[in-house]
Amino acid sequence: MMATKTFPTWRAKLQASLQKHENLVFSKYFQLATIKPDGRPANRTVVFRGFLDGTNDITFVTDKRYNKVAEAAQNPAAEVAWYFTESREQYRLSGLLTVVGPEHKSQALQDARAAAWRSMSDKARAQYLWPAPGAPKTGKEELPQQPPPSADQPPLPTFCLSVLSIQEVDYYQTSDQVRYKYSLVDTDSWQELELNA
Amino acid sequence: MMATKTFPTWRAKLQASLQKHENLVFSKYFQLATIKPDGRPANRTVVFRGFLDGTNDITFVTDKRYNKVAEAAQNPAAEVAWYFTESREQYRLSGLLTVVGPEHKSQALQDARAAAWRSMSDKARAQYLWPAPGAPKTGKEELPQQPPPSADQPPLPTFCLSVLSIQEVDYYQTSDQVRYKYSLVDTDSWQELELNA
């Protein structure tokens, strides 16, 4: 997570794709694959929350009580598949996942977590008070005893910022059959390789 | 892959989602996570090609030369994340992947592979003659020496039908916060469990 002076090619492409699709809210959603503790793959849709300042790391927010937090702690390997519907571009971003919860030691990452918390809607923040997501519904769940937390309060302990540091990118424009692989070879140096579509 | 008399609830929901989105071509695309031979997750977008006749298995086509074929042979565990943009529904479908290439012994699966081949466009069929997809482009790739194969010829050896037999489904409607888990408990019997959103 060193500062990068110029953006790598794949990031410039990805930002162009995002801009081209800015009127489509779902273009900010991508699919994240991780490995479960039993060794099987998990896959789910998450919402892009921007790049971590000064890096090419991709961020999203998550609830500590979700499986992917435990999964990332045990095996940080992850791959994102991100498809843009109008331009027919697919990005496969593979790298390592760090989940930043309340106990994470890095002040820079805690600052990023707090900034992500402030940027959320009241409704989205309130979810972190709800009964554990993904747990069986018993009908006896306790409703939150406290008012929804506001943006100027510190993040709830269940609120995590996830950071994916990218090591390899497979870019594929399917209608023009253009495909490139970008591999991180040094702190901020990327190797580009054209692939057969 | 036994015959099922009635469709499980998740399949009825999925078919309703597909119907609701039939004017959006990309609603047939989903993301498939598998495990690479090095133990890291892979994730990519594939195109839904229907259910295998008489089963609840999901099919898609693939080129034998793609990594996911070797991946499935080594570790068949897979999870699909399928997000429907208008209804805000997500299906996570986890199960085991079978890749049906020219040497697969099952006649029923070979018939399904041939039917999938016939249903493809000329342009899509021609891709199976192209240089190996995902391999580095050298500029010296040999162009196909034969004319594009027609629908009434047998499938090219590179053409595979992939079949995902589903063991568990996590259904999540994100705006109404409705979430269910469906688990296969017997050949065609599914257990339904409501989850916290």
**Percentage of chain A surpassing pLDDT 90?**
79
Contact B92 A195 (CB under 8 A): no
Domains: count for chain B:
1
Mean pLDDT of A165-171: 98
Mean pLDDT of B172-188: 93
CA distances from A74 to A77, A96, A197 (A): 9, 12, 34
Classify residue B81: in a domain, yes or no.
yes
Classify residue A5: in a domain, yes or no.
no
Classify residue B155: in a domain, yes or no.
yes
Classify residue A110: in a domain, yes or no.
yes
User: What is the token pair recorded at B185?
Assistant: 């408990």
Using the Cβ of A197 and the Cβ atoms of chain B, whether some distance falls under 8 Å is answered with yes
pLDDT for B5 equals 58
Window from A118-122, A141-145, B12-16, B99-103 with minimum mean pLDDT: A141-145
Which tops the pLDDT comparison, B74 or B172? Answer: B172
What's the pLDDT tens digit per position in A13-31? 999 999 999 999 999 999 9
Contact A39 B194 (CB under 8 A): no
pLDDT for B4 equals 45
Query: Using CB atoms within 10 A of its CB, is residue B50 exposed (0-12), middle (13-18) or buried (19+)?
Result: middle
What's the pLDDT tens digit per position in B90-120? 999 999 999 999 999 999 999 999 999 999 9
What's the pLDDT tens digit per position in A33-52? 999 999 999 999 999 999 99
Mean pLDDT of B156-172: 97
Q: B171 to chain A nearest CA, in Å?
A: 11
Q: What is the CATH number of the domain that holds B52?
A: 2.30.110.10
Using the Cβ of B147 and the Cβ atoms of chain A, whether some distance falls under 8 Å is answered with no
pTM: 0.94
pLDDT for A5 equals 58
Q: Could you write out the three-class secondary structure of B2-63?
A: CCCCCCCHHHHHHHHHHHHCCCCHHHHEEEEEEECCCCCEEEEEEECCCECCCCCCEEEEEE
pLDDT, chain A, mean: 93
Classify residue B141: in a domain, yes or no.
no
Contact A79 B26 (CB under 8 A): no
> If you measure CA to CA, which chain B residue comes closest to A87?
B26
Q: Which of B39, B141, B196 is the closest to A133 by Cβ?
A: B196
Confidence of residue A3 (pLDDT cuts 50, 70, 90): very low
In angstroms, the first-to-last Cα distance of chain A is 31
Classify residue A103: in a domain, yes or no.
yes
Using the Cβ of B87 and the Cβ atoms of chain A, whether some distance falls under 8 Å is answered with no
Using the Cβ of B71 and the Cβ atoms of chain A, whether some distance falls under 8 Å is answered with no
Classify residue B139: in a domain, yes or no.
no
What's the pLDDT tens digit per position in B120-146? 998 899 999 999 999 999 988 887 877
Contact A83 B41 (CB under 8 A): no
pLDDT at residue A4 tops 60? no
pLDDT at residue A164 tops 70? yes
Using the Cβ of B65 and the Cβ atoms of chain A, whether some distance falls under 8 Å is answered with no
Q: Which domain holds residue A111?
A: 27-130+147-195
pLDDT for B70 equals 79
What's the pLDDT tens digit per position in B35-85? 999 999 999 999 999 999 999 999 999 999 987 787 888 899 999 999 999
Sort out which chain B residues have CB atoms less than 8 A from A179's CB and list them.
134, 137
What's the pLDDT tens digit per position in A48-103? 999 999 999 999 999 999 877 878 888 999 999 999 999 999 999 999 999 999 99
Query: Beta strand pairing status for A58-63 and A41-47?
Result: unpaired
Query: Beta strand pairing status for B178-186 and B41-47?
Result: unpaired
Classify residue B136: in a domain, yes or no.
no
Query: Using CB atoms within 10 A of its CB, is residue B135 exposed (0-12), middle (13-18) or buried (19+)?
Result: exposed
